[in-house]
Amino acid sequence: MASSGENKLFIKRNSSPFLAVLSAEGIVPKLLWTRRMDNGDVLTAQKWMKGRVLLPREMSSEQVADLLKKIHTSEPLLNMMRRLGKKPMTTTQILNQLESRAQGRNETRALRQSLNLLKDMAELAEFPNKMVCHSDINHNNWLLSHDEKSLYLVDWDQAVIADPAMDLAMLLYWYVEEDQWENWLGLYGLKLTRSLQLRLVWHMVAMTLRFMFWHQEHAEMKKMILFEKDLLWLNEYAADILP
């Protein structure tokens, strides 16, 4: 933070050019200026916002659905990601990454069942219309302005071009009761079809594996065990609804 009198700025060093597009689209707080320093570093200054992170119970709101829809349909975001060299991710690529990370780990029943499920359903879960996905829809990454009129989604380091079901699955699984999924998707602008349900479940399993591996790699074993328990439930859930 930098301040002068009552004015405050949020300063970042060597941030991605993606930040300028996010700012222009109103997805992150306004970018005020960019300056290149003598040592080659590039500083960016954003407007300092007074506000708070969203509470878990607020993640099912229409405001969240509207912003996520805006992100997923933004051509400027998609074009900038392409200019930065990002390629669309398929279900097969996601599966291959997870299988690679699984090597050398203790192969529990939950892990084996999950990888088999992802492999069996990868082709059916593939979706051709790829969009920009945040890929970490945690409530702590959603910032609401002090007057509650402006909502932002921050921390874009893991953004990818992929099936928007990647983001939708994470949000629904973590924050929306299952009997409300259809209603929330209606706010977003989608109907809960059989095809969408399959994609959502596929990405729920893939996302849970990804976070389980991350916590294991960072020696956070208690959190890893929680995600492993989620996998057991998801495997049973998927077996009941998938063909």
User: CA 127 to CA 196: how far, in whole Å?
Assistant: 9
Q: Count other Cβ atoms within 10 Å, centred on residue 98.
A: 20
> Residue 58 in contact with residue 27, Cβ under 8 Å?
no
pLDDT score, position 156:
92
Check if 136 is active-site: yes
Per-residue pLDDT tens digits of the chain, which is 243 residues long: 777 666 777 777 766 778 889 999 999 988 777 788 888 777 887 777 788 999 999 999 999 999 999 999 999 999 999 999 999 999 999 999 999 999 988 888 889 999 999 999 999 999 999 999 999 999 999 999 988 889 999 999 899 999 999 999 999 999 999 999 999 999 999 999 999 999 999 999 999 999 999 999 999 999 999 998 999 999 988 888 776
Which residue in 136, 163, 167, 230 is the catalytic one? 136
